[in-house]
Amino acid sequence: MTEQHEQPSHTFERGTDGPKVIVVGVDGSDSSLRAAAYAGGLARRQRALLAVVYVQPVLAAGAALGAPVAETTDEIAEDLIAQIREAAERVKGIFDVRWEFHTFRGDPYGGLVKAADELKADAVVVGASEQAGHRIIGSVAVRLVKAGRWPVTVVP
């Protein structure tokens, strides 16, 4: 006796297995740079686009006191992109990774959510928080996981 099973028809599929866009949050911390390295390897193996995202904090209190907040965060963004370009140049011809650098303004969680939505991310990679207070109020990584909208990888 032979049984036949029909394959269910799928109405939507991106066409490939694995992620096509991987968003990684960077802020210059050691854990975020490790996350970027991990995400870069994942993007290379999956032939995915690596979207490196820096969320520029909006510090209303600092701006009100006359601190040059925007200029400082712009300098951080420029430094990060210089580091990423330098790293990409070092491995050029050995490892080829398609990547883009994006900046968003806001709090880190909100900025990464906006980036992941706008860039149609299939996965999000972040570094583990290095701040002790996040154990109490929750880190960006925990909040992203709780949002449940993308697979989230937290790199220590």
Residue where the block lists tokens 């697979």: 151
Q: What pLDDT does 61 receive?
A: 46
What structural domains does the chain harbor? 21-154 (3.40.50.620)
Report, as an integer, the average pLDDT of 98-115: 89
pLDDT per residue over 45-76, tens digit each? Answer: 999 999 999 888 776 544 444 545 556 667 77
Q: What pLDDT does 117 receive?
A: 94
3-state secondary structure 83-103: HHHHHHHHCCCCCCCEEEEEE
**AA letter at 11:** T
Nearest CA-CA partner of 29 in 83, 85, 93:
83
Q: What pLDDT does 27 receive?
A: 86
